Amino acid sequence: MARLVVIGGGAAGMAAASRAKRLNKSLDVVVFERTGWVSFALCGIPYHVGCIVKRLDDLLYYPPEEFIKKRGIDLRLYTEVTGVDLDSKTVYYRNLKTGEEGKIEFDYLLLATGARSKAPKIWPEINEAENVFYIKHLDSAREIRDYALKLKTGSRAVVVGAGYVGLELADTLSGLGLKVTVVEALDHVAPRTLDPDLAEQVEEELKTNGVEVYTGTPVKEFKISNGKATAIVTDKGEIEGDLFIVGVGIEPNVDLAKEMGLRIGETGAIWTEEHMRTSVDYVYAVGDAVEHKDLVTGRMVWRPFAPIANKQGYVAGSNIAGREAIFPGSVGTSTFKTFNMVVARTGLSKAEAEKLGYNAIEAKLNARTKAHYMPGSAPLTLKVVADADTGKLLGAQAVGKSDTILWRINVIASLLTTGGTVWDLFASDIGYAPPLAPVWDALIVAARLLMRTLGEKPRKQ
């Protein structure tokens, strides 16, 4: 009987294990996970912190029993892999609860070792502070929430980093009655998602909801006293707090891959080809430890996003079981919501496109989410970027107080995935109904604006 050993029981690892076992019932599938959780949704952590998701178990796609009893997977929790010998195809492991050590041979090996925070490397002093948190695993959600709930109403929570996790936490921590300060090293909030002009709307939403925002403010160090952080030190002075959460700086966890001698890609993550094989034929890698191709630029990128990880796991599991599948890449779609503001983007910004050598043009417009005469219509701001030489779509960003922001960006994402053009966007048969969308949707209007430069007739490619 052939055996697959999976290292890492997150969503990607369990997707691969489940897919391989489903397609090949005779395959012996063993999963090692160093925590007590598998198939978990780390993206749900801010909502458990804010008591929106009541039970930590609700952040599991499936409980461990699903994989053990129903799917026939040998799941070994609280078990750390200590080494891999590729010559003998052997994995060495240790049970973190009992200390028991063992080894197991494999025919196929899959790495799903994920990503980790760089916070303790950047600020080593936080390891001595009981009130400084960063996301290490699913239990981090409980640890942050328990500490936050012990604080008095009006206590100060300082969130370092104004990316999507930091801004989601700013929202949910405010909902617990804490005063929140967000500190961002770069010059505007959501710096890797939005252009500065769209980010202004997000910052205004934060301030309207009582969040104090510092941008262009790198954190030099944490002041620690009696085992607790009391303040962060910046060029703009010290910022005091009772609870600190670091939401910046993650990196692919490639230590084991390096020890095994696997090829590490140009992004610093594990290199794989489109079947999710590494540089060793019988070793696969998936998820947040892996780089892949950007379908807009053709470059290799590292994007630690859950939808990508799940697809990669599915593809790897299929190939291990003997059914060919490929993961072609992604276009960089991301979204988040903070308070009432929805943010979404896909592909490249105009500045990013120009840096890569594209002759980029951009349409920006303010529009409505419904027909102008319908109640509940909300404003949105949309940007769409294209290549002036070919008409190829390159990216889009949108902000607004409506969940429909995301579906509009998803339309662009779908076109980016297939190499779509501005004329394809104009011709898109987007649904219309007055309470749902205007007859001239913002997406179609953006295409019309770009066609003023490109011309009305599609160019031959």
Q: Which helix (H) or strand (E) holds 115?
A: strand 115-117
Instruction: Choose, from 2, 43, 122, 449, the residue flagged as catalytic.
Output: 43
Nearest CA-CA partner of 17 in 252, 7, 303: 7
CB atoms within 10 A of CB 455: 11
**How far apart are the C-alpha atoms of 134 and 121, rounded to whole Å?**
12
CA distances from 127 to 120, 133, 135, 142, 148 (A): 7, 9, 13, 18, 18
Q: Are strands 28-32 and 74-76 parallel, antiparallel or unpaired?
A: parallel
Nearest CA-CA partner of 261 in 278, 273, 247, 274: 278
Nearest-10 crossing angle of helices 442-454, 404-417: 40
Given a contact cutoff of 8 angstroms between Cβ atoms, the answer to whether 348 and 328 are in contact is: no
Q: Is 315 helix (H, G, I), strand (E, B) or coil?
A: helix
Sheet of strand 132-134, all strands in order from the earlier edge strand to the far edge? 132-134, 243-246, 156-160, 179-183, 212-214
Q: Is 65 helix (H, G, I), strand (E, B) or coil?
A: helix
Q: Which helix (H) or strand (E) holds 140?
A: helix 139-150
Report the largest interatomic distance among the alpha carbons of the chain, rounded to a whole angstrom: 71
What's the burial of 90, exposed, middle or buried (CB within 10 Å: 0-12/13-18/19+)? Answer: middle
Given a contact cutoff of 8 angstroms between Cβ atoms, the answer to whether 67 and 75 are in contact is: yes
Cβ-proximal residues to 360 (8 Å cutoff; 6+ apart), any chain? 348, 350, 353, 354, 385, 386, 387, 388, 394
DSSP label at residue 57: G
DSSP label at residue 185: S
**How far apart are the C-alpha atoms of 350 and 395, rounded to whole Å?**
8
Q: Is 43 tagged catalytic? A: yes
User: For the stretch 314-338, what's the b/e string if a residue is b when 16 or more beta carbons lie within 10 angstroms of its beta carbon?
Assistant: bbbbbbbbeeebebebbbbbbbbbb
HSE-CB at 255 with a 13 A cutoff on CA atoms is 10
- Hey, which residues are catalytic here? 43
